[in-house]
Amino acid sequence: MFTTVAMKRGALALVLASAVVGAAEANVTIPPDARRTHKCSTGLLRAVEGTSSFHVTLDEYGPESVYVAMRFIDTVGNTLKSQTFHLRRGGTASLDFTGAGLVRVQADVFQLNPNLRGESAILASLSLNGTDIGRFIGPPIWYQFLIACPTIPSVATSLP
């Protein structure tokens, strides 16, 4: 009986781990030949003590995968927290920051073989202390509390 229970738990853990890894791989290096295709950013927001979460999603009609460099930035431009993800079609990357003060968020999206037709959409959202305050939709579509993730022209730059 112990063996059966242990095997079921192990199988469940493997399934859950593969589901999480399948959506976004964290702490990856962006290939030098990748081109920046989208940028999402906000103005300053007041974070009160607690956790702020920044999420970026690649829609299911976009490229097979993208690289996303996400960061929380303070008022003088210092990066408070950052992480780079390899995001597959339909997947979401999330970055959490715990702290208080004025912050802004930024995400740069890179592709190895940019889709020049601009059909893919990068969607982003931000929540401060569990309260959703904004949904960002790109290419540039603005609504109240929305910030665009515009497509960068085909002369997009690669990483320095």
pTM for the full model? 0.71
User: What's the domain count of the chain?
Assistant: 1
Establish if 156 belongs to a structural domain: no
Establish if 5 belongs to a structural domain: no
Q: Concatenate the DSSP letters of all residues of the chain into one string.
A: -HHHHHHHHHHHHHHHHHHHHHHEEES-PPPTT-EEEEEEE---EEEPSSEEEEEEEE-TTS-SEEEEEEEEE-TTS-EEEEEEEEEETT-EEEEEEE--EEEEEEEEEEESS--TT----EEEEEEETTEEEEEEETTTB--TT----PBPPTT--B--
Establish if 13 belongs to a structural domain: no
Establish if 1 belongs to a structural domain: no
pLDDT in tens, 72-128: 999 999 999 999 999 998 999 999 999 989 999 999 999 987 754 555 678 888 887
**Higher pLDDT residue, 11 or 39?**
39
The strand order across the sheet containing 131-137 reads 92-98, 51-58, 122-128, 131-137
CATH classification of the domain holding 97: 2.60.290
Residue 66, pLDDT above cutoff 50: yes
Establish if 44 belongs to a structural domain: yes
Q: What is the domain range of residue 110?
A: 24-137
Establish if 9 belongs to a structural domain: no
Establish if 146 belongs to a structural domain: no
**Higher pLDDT residue, 3 or 72?**
72
